[in-house]
Amino acid sequence: SSGRPAATGALERAMDELLHRAVPAMPAYELREKTPAPAENQCADFVSFYCSLAETTERAELLGRLARGFGVDHGQVAEQSAGVLQLRQQPREAAVLLQAEDRLRYALVPRYRSLFHHISKLDGGVRFLVQLRADLLEAQALKLVEGPHVREMNGVLKNMLSEWFSSGFLKLERVTWHSPCEVLQKISESEAVHPVKTWMDMKRRVGPYRRCYFFSHCSTPGEPLIVLHVALTSEISSSIQAIIVKECPLSETEEQNRITTAIFYSISLTQQGLQGVELGTFLIKRVVKELQKEFPHLGTFSSLSPIPGFTKWLLGLLKSKAKEHGRSELFTDSECKEISEITGGPVHETLKAFLSSSEWVKSERLVRALQAPLMRLCAWYLYGEKHRGYALNPVANFHLQNGAVMWRINWMADVSLRGITGSCSLMVNYRYFLDQTAANSTAYLGSKNIKASEQVLSLVAQFQKNSKL
Amino acid sequence: SSGRPAATGALERAMDELLHRAVPAMPAYELREKTPAPAENQCADFVSFYCSLAETTERAELLGRLARGFGVDHGQVAEQSAGVLQLRQQPREAAVLLQAEDRLRYALVPRYRSLFHHISKLDGGVRFLVQLRADLLEAQALKLVEGPHVREMNGVLKNMLSEWFSSGFLKLERVTWHSPCEVLQKISESEAVHPVKTWMDMKRRVGPYRRCYFFSHCSTPGEPLIVLHVALTSEISSSIQAIIVKECPLSETEEQNRITTAIFYSISLTQQGLQGVELGTFLIKRVVKELQKEFPHLGTFSSLSPIPGFTKWLLGLLKSKAKEHGRSELFTDSECKEISEITGGPVHETLKAFLSSSEWVKSERLVRALQAPLMRLCAWYLYGEKHRGYALNPVANFHLQNGAVMWRINWMADVSLRGITGSCSLMVNYRYFLDQTAANSTAYLGSKNIKASEQVLSLVAQFQKNSKL
Amino acid sequence: SSGRPAATGALERAMDELLHRAVPAMPAYELREKTPAPAENQCADFVSFYCSLAETTERAELLGRLARGFGVDHGQVAEQSAGVLQLRQQPREAAVLLQAEDRLRYALVPRYRSLFHHISKLDGGVRFLVQLRADLLEAQALKLVEGPHVREMNGVLKNMLSEWFSSGFLKLERVTWHSPCEVLQKISESEAVHPVKTWMDMKRRVGPYRRCYFFSHCSTPGEPLIVLHVALTSEISSSIQAIIVKECPLSETEEQNRITTAIFYSISLTQQGLQGVELGTFLIKRVVKELQKEFPHLGTFSSLSPIPGFTKWLLGLLKSKAKEHGRSELFTDSECKEISEITGGPVHETLKAFLSSSEWVKSERLVRALQAPLMRLCAWYLYGEKHRGYALNPVANFHLQNGAVMWRINWMADVSLRGITGSCSLMVNYRYFLDQTAANSTAYLGSKNIKASEQVLSLVAQFQKNSKL
Amino acid sequence: SSGRPAATGALERAMDELLHRAVPAMPAYELREKTPAPAENQCADFVSFYCSLAETTERAELLGRLARGFGVDHGQVAEQSAGVLQLRQQPREAAVLLQAEDRLRYALVPRYRSLFHHISKLDGGVRFLVQLRADLLEAQALKLVEGPHVREMNGVLKNMLSEWFSSGFLKLERVTWHSPCEVLQKISESEAVHPVKTWMDMKRRVGPYRRCYFFSHCSTPGEPLIVLHVALTSEISSSIQAIIVKECPLSETEEQNRITTAIFYSISLTQQGLQGVELGTFLIKRVVKELQKEFPHLGTFSSLSPIPGFTKWLLGLLKSKAKEHGRSELFTDSECKEISEITGGPVHETLKAFLSSSEWVKSERLVRALQAPLMRLCAWYLYGEKHRGYALNPVANFHLQNGAVMWRINWMADVSLRGITGSCSLMVNYRYFLDQTAANSTAYLGSKNIKASEQVLSLVAQFQKNSKL
C-alpha cells in the first residue's frame, strides 16, 4: 500500500488512531475482574467509524489492521508457556499449575476479542458483528485482505457467534400469509435457490401443502436468520416444477391423509455473517420434529436439491477431452454416434457449445440422447468428485454431513433457465432416514463414506465402467 | 473417601461410569470441526443422572469428580507450550506461530466445557446449568467440595453464563398488578431484602409511586433473573418504613410533578447460579434510562440500602474491647457514662447483651444515647473496613463498583426485627450522580478510592479522632 | 315526595333540568335519519351527574324520573295506531300499510332509549349502562323505585344489553396461574358460591384437575362477566369438600385417562347488571365444547349445586306444622320418635331450634336420624315446589331450563357453615346428557315437565306417600 | 315468475320449505321469554342453503320470499292497535296501557328478525349477515328484487348491524409494513378511490408521511371494515400526484416539525353490507384524535376528494345545450370563441366529443382555455346541484354531513385516466375546522345550508352571473 495517494494515508492514520482509542487494553491478569468496562462510546466509536466506511476495500483495510495489530501478545504467550513448562519439570501443588495454565489461557486471548465482546453489549451490537463478519468473509473471498491473522480473527468471530446463536436461543417461526409484509419481503428477497417472482408466487410458497420456517434469535424475534421451504406431498418429488407452479388453487385446504412426504426444496441463509454457525443442520432437525407433531403419519423426508457447479464441471471436462483425441471416456460409442448425428459435429466440441446455452432442451431428440450419459456423469460428479476427501459439491456435502442418503438423480427436474444452464436440468434428492442420520453423519465425517441409493451407485458404476476408472 | 460404605462405593462407580460415557472426548485438533455433535441422549443422560441425585453431598461429589477428572490434559498443554517456545527461538512465518498458539489454546480447554456446551443446546439446558452452578456455589460455601479444579470449573461456568446472559440478550420487564400471578408469586418469594408479607403488600410494591422491574433472558421471557424495586418520591428517603407501609391508598394516581427522586430500595438475584454475572449493575443502568424516559424531570437517584453484618461486626468489636480493660476507643467518656447509667453496667458488656436482642429500641433514652456513637461506628464500618482493599460490606462494594457515592447514614431507618438485629436500625443511601458514576467506578476499582459525602466523611473523622486511628 | 325538605327539592329540580337537557328529543319520523347525533357532552353530562349521586336512593329517584317522564308519547302511539287501523278498513297498496306500521313502531320507542343508545357510544359507555342497570335492579329489589314505567325501562335496557352481549361477541377465556393478578383477584372476590379464602386456595382452583373459564366481551378482553369453575374427576362428585380441599399437591400433573367427568361446581355472574342476559346457559355450552376438544374421552357432565333456600323453606314448614298438632306429615312415626329422643322434645319445635344453628351436625346420631327425612323433603322442595309452574328454587330452574336432569341429592355434601345453615349440608347434581338437553329444555319450558333420576323420583314418592299428597 | 321452467319451480318449492323450517315461529306474547332458542342447525340450515345459491338472482329470489312471507302479522298489529286505542278512550291504570303498548310493539317485530337474531349467534353469523345485506343491496340496485317489504327488511338489517357495529365495539388499527400481508392485500384490493398498482405502491402508502387506519369489529380484529388513508404534509394538497408518486424515498424518516396538515385522500368501505352504518364519519373523528395525540402541533385537517359524476353531469349539460341553439349559458362569449378556435367547431358539440375521452389534456392551449369555465361549472355542480335539498354529489354530501367546509376546487389535481375521464382532472378539498364541524353538520342536516369558502362561493357567483340563474 506504499503507492497510495496522500489522502489514503490520512484515512489509514485515522484508522490507526481509532483502533488505538477503541480497542480496550488488556488488563493485567490479576486485575482482569477488577477493571470496569470501557465507556460505551469507546466501542460505539468503532461502530460508527466502521459504518461510515462505504467502500468494501476500506472496511477490509480496517479489519486487516485490527487483525494484525491487536491480536495476541506473543511475548506474553511465550513467557507464560515457559512458566507452565517449568512447573512440568518441578512439580508443585495442583493450584499452582492450574493458575499458570489460566494465565497462559488469558495470554492467548487476542485483544480484539475484548472489542467484539463489548460491542456485543451495545444495542444492535450483535447484529453489527454479524454484518462485520459478512464483510470479512466477502473481503477474504475477493482477496481484499488475506493472511493468517485475518483467518484467526474470522475464527474468533465465528466462535463468538456460535456461542450467541446457540440452538437454545433460536426460535423457530412459521411464515404464513398472516406474517408481516416486512418478513415476507425479506424472505422473498433472500430466496437464493428458486427466486421468487411475484407476490402471488410468495403467497403460494406459504399456502396449503407448503411450509416455510425460519430461525430468529430470541433477542430479535421476527428477523429471519435462515429459511427453510418445505413441500408436503405424497411422494418424493422429482421436479421443482411441480412445487413452484404458476397457476394453482390458493384456497385449497389440505387433506391430511394425502400428506406422507416432506420435501425440503430450499434452504437459504439470510445473514451471510453466520456462515459456518451450523444453523442449517439444526433447522432441518427442528422442522422435522415440528412436522411430525403436526402430521403424526408423515414418514418420508427428503430434499429436492440443486446441483450448483455441475454444468461448469462438465464443460471443463468436455474442454479437456476435446483436446485429447481418440475414444471418448465420457460417452459410449453409440451415444457418441447419436449425439454427433443430432449436433452435426464432434461430440465434445459440439456439446460444449450446446451446453453453454439453454437451447438444447428445445430438441426433443437431444434431450432423449443426453439423459443416460448426463445422469451417469452427474452421479459421478456428486459421488466421486472430492475436496479433502469430502464431497466437492457443497450442497451434497451439507446434506451428507447431516446424515442424509444420496437418494435419486432426476432428469428434467429444473427446466428454468437457471436449472438448465447451471446443472443441465438435473436435481437430486437427499433422503433423511431419521433413525440412520446420526450413524451416517459419523461415518461421513469420520471415514468419509458416502451413503447412496442403488440408483446412484448403479449410475456411478456405469460411469466407472465406461471411463475405465 | 476410602472409608465409605459399599453402597456409596456403588454410587461412586455409577458416577465414574456416567462421566466416562457422558463427557465427550476431545477430538484431535485437526478433526475439531469435523466431529459430529454427541448424540442428544449422551448429554441428556448426565442431566437426568444429576437431577436424580437428591442430596447436596451427592451432587457435590459428582461435580468434584467432573472437575478433577475431566479438566485439561496437562501433558498436551506442556507439549504445545514447548512447540510455541521453540518457534519463539527459531522464527518461522506468522501462520506457523499462529497455528501453534491455536493448538495451545485448544489444549487449554477443559474437557468438561464441551459437556456444558452440548447441554446448553438441550431444551432447558441453560436453565439446568444455572442450577448446577448454584449447587456448586452452595457446595463450595458448605465446604462439601473444594480445591483448585473446582474453582477452575466454577470460573469456566461463570464465563459461559456471562456470554449467554450478556446484556444484549436481557429483556427489561416491568411488573404490575396485571402481570401473571406466577411472576408476582416468584418475585414475592425471592424478595430477600424486605420480605413480602401479604398479597396486598405485594400489590402496594407494584402500585402507584412504585416500580418493579426485572431482567429475563430473551429465551425465557417472564422468568425473573434479578429484580429491582424502586420508590418514586420527592426526596431521598431516610427510612424504609415510609416505603413499605401497611395501610396505604392503593388506587391513588401518580402526580408526575411530585416525583423528583428514584429510590432503589431492593435488588434481589432470583437465580443464585448467576452470581458474579454482573446483572445488578446493568439492571440499575437500564432502569435509570427507563425512568428518565417516563419522567423527564426525574433528577435524583439513590439507593436505600441495608447494612448486613454491621451488628455482627459491632458485637465482635465489643467482645474484643470488653477483654481489654481501660479507656473505650468506641465511645467517648460522656457516652460511656450515659450508656452505663441506662444499661446499669460496664458499657461494652451490657451493650453486647443489649444489641444481641432488639429490646433496646424500646428504651427511648438508650435510642437517643446510642445514635451518635452507632452512626460513627457504622460510617467506619462501611468506609474504613476493607477486604483486599475494597469495602468489606458487600452491598457497599456493589454500589461503589457501580460508581455511586456513599451518601447518608440514617438512624432508625429500618425498625423491623430484621433491621434492628442486623444493623441496629441503620440504613445507608448510595447516591448515583449519573455524570460521575463512570469516573467514580474507575477510581474505586483502580485506586480503591471511596467517594463519600460530607456527612459520612465527618462521621468517619469523629470515629478516627475518638479511636486514635 | 312532597314532604321532602327544600334541599331535596333542589336536587329534584337539578334532576329535571339535567334530564331535559340530556335526553335527546325524538325527531319527527321523516327527519329520523337526517338528525345529527347529540353532542358528546350532552350524554356525558348525564353520565357524570349520575356518577356524582352517591346515594342509592338518589340514583333510584333519577331513574324513576327518567322512566316516568321520558318514555313513549302515548298520544302519538294512539294516533299512529288509528292510522294503521284505518288502512285495515280501507286497504291501500302494501307500501302505505308498511309505512304506517313503521311510523307506529317508531312512536313506540321510548325517548330514554335514545339516551342509552348515545351513551353506549361513549368510551366506557356500555360499562356504565351495565352498572346503571345493576343499580336499577337493586333499587327495585329494595323497593326504592317501583311501577310499570320502571319495569318497562328495565326491559328496554335488558334488550339493549342482550343485543350487545350477544354470544357472537363473547370471548371464552381460561384462567390459570399465569393470568394477571388483576383477573384472579376479581374472580376470587366475585366467587359467590364457595368463597375463596386465601391465594393458595385460588391457585388450587386454577391448578391441575380444575378449570376456570369466563366470558369477557370482545371490546373489554380480560374483564370477567360470568365465571364457571369446573373440577375434572373420575366420577360425579357427591361433596364439595373433595373439590375445595385445603391441603393438596399443587404441582401434580394431570393424568388424562383418569379424567372422565366434568363437574361444574360454581357459576357466578360478576356483573349484576347483566342479569337475565342468558350468559350462564351459553357459558356452560361453550365450556362443554372446549372440554370435549381438550379431553376427547370426557363423557359425563354434571353440576354440583347448592340448594339456597332449602333450610328457610324447611323452617317455615316446621313452624306451620308446629302449630297444627297431630300426626306429622313431614316425618314417619319412627322418625319422629327417634328424633324426639335425641333432641329431647317435640320433633317440630326442637328441630326448628336445632336447624336454625349448625350445632346439630356435631351429633352423629342426629345426623344419621335426619338423613332419610331431609333428603326426602329436599327432593320435594326441588321437584315439587313451584313458582308459576316452574321450579321455585332458582338454581334448579336455571339448570332445568338448560335441559339438565335432576340427578342426585347428596347428604353431607357441604359441611361448611354456609352449607349447613343454608341447606342442611345437602347439595344436588344436575346432570347434562348432551344429546337430550335440547329436548329436556323444550319440555321444561313448554310443558313444565321436570326430568329427574330414579333416586330423586323415589325420594319424591316417599315424601308424597308420607305426607298424603 | 309463472313462466319459469319446472326446475325453477323445484327451487322455489325448496326455498319455501326451507323458510318454513328455518324461520322461527313467533311465540305468543306471554311465552316470549319462556321459549327456548331454536336448535342451532335450524338457523345453520338457512345459512348453508343460502350459501349454496351461486346465482345473484337466486339469492335475490330467496330474500324476496323471506321479506314478503315472513314479515309482520298485520292482523295482530291491527288487533293490538285497537286494544291501545280502546285504552285511550277508557283510561285504566298505567300498567295496563304500558302492557298494551308492549304487546303492540311485539306484534310489530317482523318474523324474519328472529331468524337474523339467531344467525348472529352462530360462529361467523354476523359476518354472514353483512354479506347477506351486501347481496340485498346489490339485488336492489340491479332491480332483481323490489318492493316495500324488501325495503323494510333492508331497514331492519341496517338497524341490527348499526347496533352491532356501534362505535363502542370498533377498534382503530393502524396499518404499517409490519402488518400481516393478508391485511395489506385486502386493503390494496379494496382501495376504490386511487387503485393500488404494485406492492411498492402499497408500501409507500403505509410508509413515512403517510398513515393508513381501519376500523375492525372487536370480535374480528385484523379485519378491515372501512379504511382511511392520510397524507401528512405542510399545506393543503392541491393534487393527488404529489401524494401517490411512483418514485419516492421509502426509508425517509419523518421530520415532525414539517408536519402541520393531515390530508384524508381516500376512504373506502371494504364491506358493502355496512352501507349506511355511519362508519366513515366516526372513523374520521377517531383518526383526527389519534393524529392530534401523535402530532400535538398538527392543526389543519382537510380531504382531497374526487368528484365522481362531474364529467357525466357536464356531458349531459353540453348535450342538452347543444340542442338549444343560441347563446351559451355555460361559457362566456370570449371562452366560446377561444374554445371553438382550438377545437375547430361549435363549442358544445366539440367539447362533448373532447371531454368524452382524455385526449384534451394533451393540448396545453385547451387545458388553459378550459380552466376557468370548468372550475366554475364544477363549483356549481358541487354547491348548487341538489337531491332532496342535499348535495347531489355523494362525496360532497358525506363531508358536508360531517360538518366540513367546501374549501377549494383544484385544477389538474388528478391527471390519471380515471381523474381525467371522471372529473376533468378536478378534485376538491373539504376542510375540517374542528371547532365548527358540529355546528356545520347541524346547519347542513337541518337547514340544508352548505358552508363554502370564498373561492368556491366566488366561482358559484361567476357561474350564476353567466348563466343568469
Do both B152 and B184 map to the same domain?
Answer: no
Residues of A in contact with B445 (CB under 8 A): 34-36
Using a CB–CB cutoff of 8 Å, tell me whether D85 touches chain C. Answer: yes
Residues B320 and B268 in one domain: no
C-alpha distance from residue D127 to each of B242, B406, D62, D79, D161 (Å): 56, 66, 19, 37, 10
Q: C158-177 in b/e burial notation, b at 16+ Cβ within 10 A?
A: bebbebbbbbbbbbebebbb
Query: Of A340, A399, A423, A425, which one is the catalytic site residue?
Result: A399
Structural domain of D453: 310-467
Query: Residue C278: its pLDDT value, please?
Result: 84
Kindly state whether residue B78 falls inside one of the protein's structural domains.
no
Contact residues, chain D, for A184 at CB < 8 Å: 181
| Structural domain includes residue D93 | no
Distance CA D45, CA D51 (A): 10
**Residue of C322 and A295 predicted with greater confidence:** A295
Task: Determine, for residues B177 and C181 on separate chains, whether the beta-carbon distance falls below 8 Å.
Answer: yes
C399 is catalytic: yes
Asked whether residue A238 falls in the same domain as residue A333, the answer is no
User: What's residue B309's pLDDT?
Assistant: 94
Res. A426: pLDDT tops 50? yes
A347: enclosing H helix or E strand = helix A347-356
- The H-or-E segment that residue C125 falls in is helix C125-141
Active site residue C74: no
Candidate list C305, C328, C358, C423, residue with the active-site label: C305
Judge whether D126 is closer than 8 Å to chain C, CB to CB: yes
pLDDT band for D168, please (50, 70, 90 cuts): confident
For residue A180, give the nearest of D180, D185, D199 by CB distance.
Answer: D180
Of D148, D164, D180, the last residue of a domain is D164
The answer to whether residues A215 and A268 belong to one domain is: yes
List CB contacts of C3: < 8 A, sequence separation 6 or more.
none
Residues in C 273-332 with any Cβ partner in D closer than 8 A: none
Average pLDDT over residues D220-231: 95
Asked, for residue B289, whether it belongs to a domain, the answer is yes
Residue position matching grid coordinates 449467554: B164
- Neighbouring-strand partners of residue C391: C386
Which has the minimum average pLDDT: C64-78, D19-33, D70-84? D19-33
Q: What is the CATH number of the domain that holds C433?
A: 3.40.630.150
Q: CA–CA separation, B437 vs B281, rounded Å?
A: 11
Q: What is the CA radius of gyration of chain D?
A: 27
CB nearest B125 (choices: A101, A168, A441): A168
D441-465 tens-digit pLDDT: 989 988 899 999 999 999 999 999 8
Which D positions 335-374 lie with beta carbon below 8 A of chain C?
none
Per-residue confidence (pLDDT) for residue D249, from 0 to 100: 54
Question: How many Cβ pairs closer than 8 A exist between chain A and B?
Answer: 124
Tally the C-alpha atoms within 13 A of residue A221's C-alpha that lie toward its C-beta.
12
- Cell numbers standing for residue D53: 345459491
Angle at D121 between CA D118 and CA D127, to 5 degrees: 105
Q: CB distance from D3 to chain C under 8 Å?
A: no
| Confidence tier at D192 by pLDDT (50, 70, 90) | confident
Q: Mark whether B373 and B437 lie in a shared domain.
A: yes
Minimal C-alpha gap between B277 and chain A (Å): 11
Q: Do D179 and A180 touch (CB under 8 A)?
A: yes
Q: What is the pLDDT of residues A281-320, one digit of tens each?
A: 999 999 999 999 999 889 999 999 999 999 999 999 988 8
CB–CB of D185/A198 below 8 Å?
Answer: no
CA distance C90 to chain D (A): 13
Residue A429 phi/psi, 5-degree rounding, is -100, 130
CB-CB contact of A155 with A67 (8 Å): no
Compute the C-alpha angle C203/C206/C210, nearest 5°.
130
Q: Any idea what the Cα angle at residue A244 is, between residues A242 and A246, rounded to 5°?
A: 100
- Structural domain includes residue A356: yes
C-alpha grid cell, residue B289:
434510562
Confidence at residue D348, expressed as pLDDT on a 0 to 100 scale? 87
Q: Would you say residue B84 lies in a domain?
A: no
Which among C430, C316, C331 has a CA at the least distance from the CA of C374? C331
Contact B162, B133 (CB under 8 A): no
> Are C261 and C214 found together in one domain?
yes
From D305, D328, D340, D358, the catalytic residue? D305
| Phi, psi at A228, each rounded to 5° | -125, 130
B429: which strand partners? B408
Q: How near does any CA of chain C get to the CA of B422, in Å?
A: 31
> In the beta sheet, which residues pair with residue D264?
D230, D303
- For the beta sheet containing A226-233, the strands, ordered from the edge strand earlier in sequence to the opposite edge, are A170-174, A210-217, A226-233, A261-269, A300-303, A427-432, A405-410
Cell of residue B352, nine digits: 453486647
Range in B224-228, C319-323, D399-403 the model is least confident about: C319-323
Q: C180: which DSSP letter? A: B
Task: Return d(Cα D421, Cα D409) in angstroms, integer.
Answer: 17
d(CA A139, CA A201) in angstroms, rounded, equals: 34
Percent of chain A exceeding pLDDT 90 equals 68
Q: Does C184 touch chain B (CB under 8 A)?
A: yes
B28 close to A (CB below 8 A)? no
Q: What is the mean pLDDT of chain B?
A: 90
Q: What is the pLDDT of residue D325?
A: 62
Of D85, D108, D442, the CB nearest to C78: D85
- D32 burial class (0-12, 13-18, 19+ CB within 10 angstroms)? exposed
User: Are residues A203 and A145 part of one domain?
Assistant: no
pLDDT exceeds cutoff 60 at D241: yes
User: Which residues, 6+ apart, have CB-to-CB distance to C387 below 8 Å?
Assistant: none
For residues B220-235, give the mean pLDDT: 94
* DSSP strand pairing (C427-432 vs C300-303): antiparallel
- Our CA-based measurement puts residue D150 at a distance from the nearest CA of chain C, in whole angstroms, of 10
A385 interfacial to chain B (CB closer than 8 Å): no
Of C74, C98, C438, the CB nearest to D149: C98
Distance CA C182, CA C195 (A): 17
Q: Do B180 and C179 touch (CB under 8 A)?
A: yes
C21 and C145 inside one domain: yes
Looking at residue B246, its pLDDT comes to 55
**Amino acid D2: pLDDT:** 41
Residue D391's pLDDT band (boundaries 50, 70, 90)? Answer: very high
What are the pLDDT digits (tens) for D298-316? 999 999 999 999 999 999 9
- Region at D124 (left for phi over 0; alpha for psi -120 to 50; beta for the rest): left
Q: Does A180 sit within 8 Å of D177, measured CB to CB?
A: yes
User: How many domains does chain C divide into?
Assistant: 3
Touching check for B81 and chain A: CB below 8 Å? Answer: yes
The beta-strand segments (E) located in A358-426 are: 386-387, 390-391, 405-410
The reply to whether D115 and D188 lie within a common domain is: no
Which residue type is seen at B173? E
pLDDT surpasses 90 at D213: yes
Residue numbers of B annotated as active site: 305, 399
C183-213, pLDDT tens digit by residue? Answer: 999 998 888 777 777 778 888 899 999 999 9
Q: Is A180 on the interface with D (CB under 8 A)?
A: yes
Cα separation of A195 and A418, whole Å? Answer: 10
Choosing from D254, D270, D303, the residue where a domain stops is D303
What residues of A are in contact with residue B289 (Cβ under 8 Å)?
none
Kindly state whether B82 is in contact with chain A, defined as any CB-CB distance less than 8 angstroms: yes
pLDDT category at C8 given cuts 50, 70, 90 is low
| Confidence at residue D4, expressed as pLDDT on a 0 to 100 scale | 43
Residues B179 and B159 in one domain: no
Mean pLDDT, range B25-49, rounded to an integer = 86
| pLDDT tops 60 at residue C350 | yes
Q: Tell me the percentage of chain C whose pLDDT exceeds 90.
A: 69
Confidence grade of residue C3 (pLDDT, cut at 50, 70, 90): very low
> A426 is written with which cell numbers?
438435473
Contacts with C182 from chain B: Cβ below 8 Å:
177-178
Is D25 at the interface with chain C, CB within 8 A?
A: no
The active-site residue out of D118, D229, D348, D399 is D399
The reply to whether A95 falls in a domain is no
Cβ pair D36:C219 closer than 8 A:
no
Give the sheet arrangement for strand C170-174, strand by strand.
Answer: C170-174, C210-217, C226-233, C261-269, C300-303, C427-432, C405-410
pLDDT above 90: residue A278:
no
Write down the pLDDT at residue D312.
95
A181–D203 C-beta distance less than 8 A:
yes
pLDDT for the residue numbered A190? 85
Residue D376 and residue D290 in contact, taking contact as beta carbons nearer than 8 Å = no
Interface test with D, best of A174, A181, A189 (most D CBs within 10 A): A181
Helices B74-89 and B94-107, axial angle in degrees (round to 10): 160
Looking at the structure, do residues A203 and A56 belong to the same domain, yes or no? no
pLDDT in tens, D95-135: 999 999 999 999 999 999 999 999 998 888 999 999 999 99
The shortest CB-CB distance from B152 to any of A98, A167, A441 is to: A98
Q: Nearest CA to CA, how far is A176 from chain D (Å)?
A: 9
Nearest chain C CA: its distance from D128 CA (Å): 12
For the record, the C-alpha cell of C354 comes out as 336445632
With contacts defined as CB-CB under 8 Å, which chain D residues touch A180? 177-181
Q: What is the ipTM of this complex?
A: 0.85
Nearest CA in chain B to A164: B164
- In sequence order, what are the residues at sequence separation of 6 or more whose Cβ sits closer than 8 angstroms to the Cβ of residue D291? D211, D230, D262, D298
What residues of chain D, 144 to 173, have a C-beta less than 8 Å from chain C?
147-149, 151-152, 155, 160, 163-164, 166-169, 171
Kindly report the CATH number assigned to the domain that includes residue C25: 1.20.140.90
User: How much is the pLDDT for B7?
Assistant: 64
| pLDDT computed for residue B200 by the predictor | 80
The yes-or-no verdict on residue B38 having pLDDT over 50 is yes
Residue B48: partners with Cβ closer than 8 Å, 6 or more residues away = none
Strand D390-391 versus strand D405-410 pairing type: unpaired
Q: For residue C154, what are the β-bridge partners?
A: none
CA triple A322-A323-A329, angle to 5 deg:
55
D436 part of contact set with chain C, CB < 8 Å: no
Q: Which residues of B touch C199 (CB under 8 A)?
A: 181, 199
DSSP state of D180: B
Contact assessment for residue B109 and residue B19, using Cβ atoms and an 8 Å cutoff = no
pLDDT band with cut points at 50, 70 and 90 for residue A66: very high
Task: Tell me, yes or no, if C196 comes closer than 8 A to chain B by beta carbon.
Answer: no
Per-residue confidence (pLDDT) for residue D344, from 0 to 100: 87
Query: Cβ–Cβ of B184/C184 closer than 8 Å?
Result: no
D191/D228 Cα distance (integer angstroms) = 10
Task: Note whether residue A226 is domain-resident.
Answer: yes
Bridge partners of A301? A262, A432
- Nearest residue of C to residue B207, measured between CA atoms: C182
The closest alpha carbon to B131, from B47, B72, B36, belongs to: B47
CA distance B185 to chain A (A): 25
Interface test with A, best of D181, D202, D212 (most A CBs within 10 A): D181
Q: Report the distance separating Cα D124 and Cα D39, nearest Å.
A: 17
Residues B180, B125 share a domain: no
The predicted-structure confidence for D318-371, as pLDDT tens digits, reads as follows: 888 767 666 677 888 889 899 989 988 888 888 988 998 888 999 999 999 999
Domain final position from C303, C325, C349: C303
What are the DSSP calls for D9-71, one per residue? HHHHHHHHHHHHHHSPPPPPGGGTTSSPPPPHHHHHHHHHHHHH--SHHHHHHHHHHHHHHSS
Residue C84 maps to a domain? no
D445 CA to chain C: closest CA distance, Å?
6
Q: What is the mean pLDDT of chain C?
A: 90
Give D-chain residues touching A200 at CB under 8 angstroms.
none
A25 touches chain B (CB under 8 A): no
